[in-house]
Chain A
């Protein structure tokens, strides 16, 4: 059957479900393009014959080959596009400089696409708000104050912790507090 090479490309990518990037399959791509060329030429010949000699019976086969051409086109575009999505993820996971073993799996054109993506993202971030802009690739997780268990050495009375609630610090009582800066403040006293 036609389009077997094309589905191989898709399977290869789909097997890596966690977003990893397999090596660019230049050879596979070339083979699919070759099959497309052959299908197209055969169809051109049959179309001419159908027109000139009136062989309308060739039409079903022309249609079949055309479906295969469209299928090959879809598989290739989907293969390339999905790879771009994976490459885009690399920018967010690794930052703007990729390790050599990752870059090694990209084609020259993919490296170029990545370069342009980096540039677009950078100028977007620079343009946010005022002067310096905002690096939105930082702060991926909400800031967390670490809870710390403290034992009070002396009576301190009421103390406001970072969420605004007031806790009572009595000598020898144990409390969980939300902010180590608050603790260091008390330790200084």
Chain B
């Protein structure tokens, strides 16, 4: 019975032949990391489609296994709970992203347009489709109801200027996963000068997002 439910991460017997295969526990850790970063960063981060896909597969697999557990087995409850928790984290992650896509849609699409080949896309293909539809839907609506009834020189609104950009100067809490040296901190007032700090592994900080944004995407720090 325990073999059938091995994907809860507690007893993993992956075959050693595929070395780059993530264990279920690693996969869930990746999801949680992406989830927290997305929840706390003011801007939309790069999509993690592979993680989402793998987690979806994992969930289907776990559901199927759970069907085979006989009723009344105490373990079923724990595994049900585990499935619910994973599905919550995954849904919450995708919700945070969708919310930001709606909030910043002109900027998100602009960034996608100016992306050079080989540069990782912010949006997954599904998110890109959603963003485009959201833009078209909203633009059409504003045009039909108001803009085209306005004087000729006032019939357009630049959505890039109208919809605010993410505020990168927000402060975020973070935990350092890989030690960093010489992080430049900009002054908060005229009396202050800029200075550099080292971030020790495992230490926690409250900092301006703009300063550490590259470290979030490289995975060197974790937003908390």
**Interface residues of A, Cβ cutoff 8 Å to B:** 29, 33, 36-37, 40, 69-70, 73, 76-77, 80-81, 84, 88, 107, 109-110, 112-113, 116-117, 119-121, 123-124, 127-130, 134-136, 138-139, 141-143, 145, 162, 164, 179-182, 184-185, 188
Contacts and interface: CB of A to CB of B under 8 A. Distances in A.
B137 A116 contact: yes
A123 B129 contact: yes
Most chain A CB inside 10 Å of its own CB: which residue of B56, B141, B162 = B141
B157 A77 contact: yes
A104 to B, nearest CB: 18
A136 B94 contact: yes
Given A124-B129, A130-B56, A136 B74 contact: no
Given A109-B145, A124-B127, A134-B94, A88 B102 contact: yes
A24 to B, nearest CB: 9
A70 B150 CA distance: 11
13 contacts: A36-B154, A73-B150, A109-B141, A109-B145, A113-B138, A128-B52, A129-B52, A139-B87, A139-B88, A145-B81, A179-B77, A181-B74, A182-B78
B119 interface: no
B49 to A, nearest CB: 10
Interface in B12-58: 52-53, 55-57
Contacts of B85: 142-143
Contacts of B204: none
Contacts of A110: 141
Contact of B145 (A107, A162, A179, A182): A107
B171 interface: no
B138 A136 contact: no
Given A80-B141, A116-B133, A130-B56, 16 more contacts: A29-B145, A36-B154, A40-B154, A112-B141, A113-B141, A121-B98, A124-B130, A127-B126, A127-B129, A129-B60, A139-B84, A139-B91, A142-B85, A143-B81, A162-B77, A179-B77
Interface of B: 10, 52-53, 55-57, 59-60, 72-74, 76-78, 80-81, 84-85, 87-88, 90-92, 94-95, 98, 102, 125-127, 129-130, 133-134, 137-138, 141-142, 144-147, 149-151, 153-154, 157, 162
Contacts of B76: 181
Contacts of B10: 164
Nearest to B82: A162
B151 A36 contact: yes
B29 to A, nearest CB: 16
Contacts of B90: 134
Closest 3 CB pairs of A and B: A129-B56, A181-B77, A185-B74
Contact of A120 (B134, B149, B162): B134
Contacts of B95: 136
Contacts of B154: 36, 40, 69-70, 73
Nearest to B138: A84
Contacts of A135: 91
A80 B159 CA distance: 14
Contact of B56 (A80, A124, A134): A134
Contact of B74 (A84, A139, A182): A182
A177 B154 CA distance: 65
A77 to B, nearest CB: 6
